[in-house]
Amino acid sequence: MSEDEPTADEGEANRERNLDAIRDRLGALEADLEDFEADLESADTEDDLNVVEADLESVREDVEDVEIPDPPETDDDEDDEPAPEAKLQDRYDDLESDLGDLEDDLEDQRGPYAEDVVGEIDGVANTITNTRWTVEGDEELIEAVDSFLTDVNDLLESDLSTPGDLEPASGAELGENAEEEGTVPQALEETLEEATAAVEDASPDPDEDAETIAGLLEATDDFEGGVDDATEWTDLEVREQLRREGFYDVLAHVKDFPPEWHALKVHEKRGNVDQILLAYETLGSEYMEEHCLEALERMGPEDAIEPMVQKAGRRDEAAIRILGKIGVADDEVVDALLDYVDSNPDLQKPAFRALGEIGAESAVQPLANQLLADNPDVRSWAARALGLIGDTRAIDPLADVLADDEEDRVRASAAWALNCIGTADALEIVAGYEDDRAYLVQAEATRVDLEPAA
């Protein structure tokens, strides 16, 4: 042992001195916390709270500076008395927990403030503009805002009021956008912005104007309750919603049962896509949903893209077919369909066809990969989808299928696809199979016209 190294007894003595110092430090911090807890209980003003906050921040820094050493390692596996370091760690954890509780109590004791009132008003305003209301709901909203403004005027001596020309709109007039220009929710939102500006301009002091702030918060709570009680569109029965939307207005008489089916057929005949989508989104019947989807598949309206993309995402074959019928190759549609290129055959078949119908060029490689699938049906559907897309990048892989695939029906699909692509190179490949063993392939070869058009 070198002369500089402490002996075992000296090391133990150093350890004890270090632990004693930590005990003293923790004791002092614990005493400080007790004093600051009493200061917090007696704090009456924001200034008092600011003093306590500064004290707690100082204690927080001191606590974070304390380092509890790890207990020494021992060879004894028996459950002995915890090491002094472990006991100090427990005291430290308790101290830190008590400090956190005091910090939370300090925040709870602050305020309320004018910004709390503004936040509450903004929250109610968002509810108003993001909810669809009935005519009755509009009327109840106007009444709730009027009552709230009366309270605000009394407390702030302001002169706020709702516009005098507000007219509740019917559901059909309102549509689905509560933020539509000129609607009751939009007008009330602007009025509530004036109310928040009035609170901010008044700038009530949390000490001197505590009663005013408390009164404003109470008024806001009552206001929020009035808005919650107002009649939302979803509070109506389904048939009442449809009636107010004019869904049944096309019925001079009821020919089919249920009447929704009869109305649906009339709307399809008249091209009223909005009413068909309304029925699809509103009616909770699988029977009526099926008829709505059939109507949309026959019509192929672009207005149906968004709901059909959502439904296609739930592995729905009808929605996939409808997207193909609509024929719009935007990124959202293509991405939804590409999810099923490597799926099960029940979903691959409509997805392949839909990708072909919309001409999704980004699907060429994923579809070409499926020309090597084990299932001959999948290979055939992939070939035909590539033909519908018509991209020349598919010529070589289709030519390989036509030359090498073991299934004649798959080869015939490849020949059909090359005919669809229709370039000179593609047609020349197909024309070489006039004497093919398979009649379907021969038929495709005889359709080729290599003579240039006059």
Q: What is the pLDDT of residues 150-197, one digit of tens each?
A: 999 999 999 999 987 777 765 444 444 444 556 899 999 999 999 999
Residue type at position 382: A
Q: Are residues 127 and 203 in the same domain?
A: yes
- Kindly provide the b/e burial profile for residues 348-386, where b requires at least 16 CB atoms within 10 angstroms of the residue's own CB: bbbbbbbbbbbebeebbebbbebbebeeeebbbbbbbbb
Q: Are residues 47 and 91 in the same domain?
A: yes
Q: Last residue of a domain, which of 215, 235, 255?
A: 235
**271 alpha-carbon distance from chain centroid:** 32
Q: Are residues 135 and 61 in the same domain?
A: no
Q: Are residues 61 and 118 in the same domain?
A: no
Is residue 335 assigned to a domain?
Answer: no
Q: Are residues 59 and 165 in the same domain?
A: no
The pLDDT tens digits along the chain (454 residues) read 455 666 777 778 888 889 888 999 989 998 988 998 898 888 878 888 889 889 889 989 998 898 999 888 766 555 567 888 888 899 899 999 999 999 888 888 887 888 999 999 999 999 999 998 888 899 999 999 999 999 999 999 999 999 877 777 654 444 444 445 568 999 999 999 999 999 999 999 988 898 999 999 999 999 999 999 998 888 888 888 888 888 888 887 756 568 888 899 999 999 999 999 999 988 878 889 999 999 999 999 999 999 999 999 999 999 999 999 999 988 999 999 999 999 999 999 999 999 999 999 999 999 999 999 999 999 999 999 999 999 999 999 999 999 999 999 999 999 999 999 999 999 999 999 999 999 999 999 998 876 544 4
99 lies in which domain range? 8-72+80-109
pLDDT tens-digit map of 243-299: 888 888 888 775 656 888 889 999 999 999 999 999 998 887 888 999 999 999 999
Q: Last residue of a domain, which of 235, 264, 297?
A: 235
Is residue 98 assigned to a domain?
Answer: yes
* Residue 317 CB partners (closer than 8 Å, separation 6+): 346, 347, 350
* Coil, strand or helix at 232: strand
Q: How many domains does one find in the chain?
A: 3
List helix spans (H) across 130-249: 135-156, 171-174, 184-202, 210-229, 238-244
Q: Are residues 150 and 48 in the same domain?
A: no
Q: Are residues 365 and 427 in the same domain?
A: yes
Is residue 398 assigned to a domain?
Answer: yes
Running DSSP on this structure, what letter comes out for residue 362? Answer: G
Rounded to an integer, what distance in angstroms lies between the CA atom of residue 311 and that of residue 155?
52
Q: Are residues 95 and 36 in the same domain?
A: yes
Q: Are residues 377 and 399 in the same domain?
A: yes
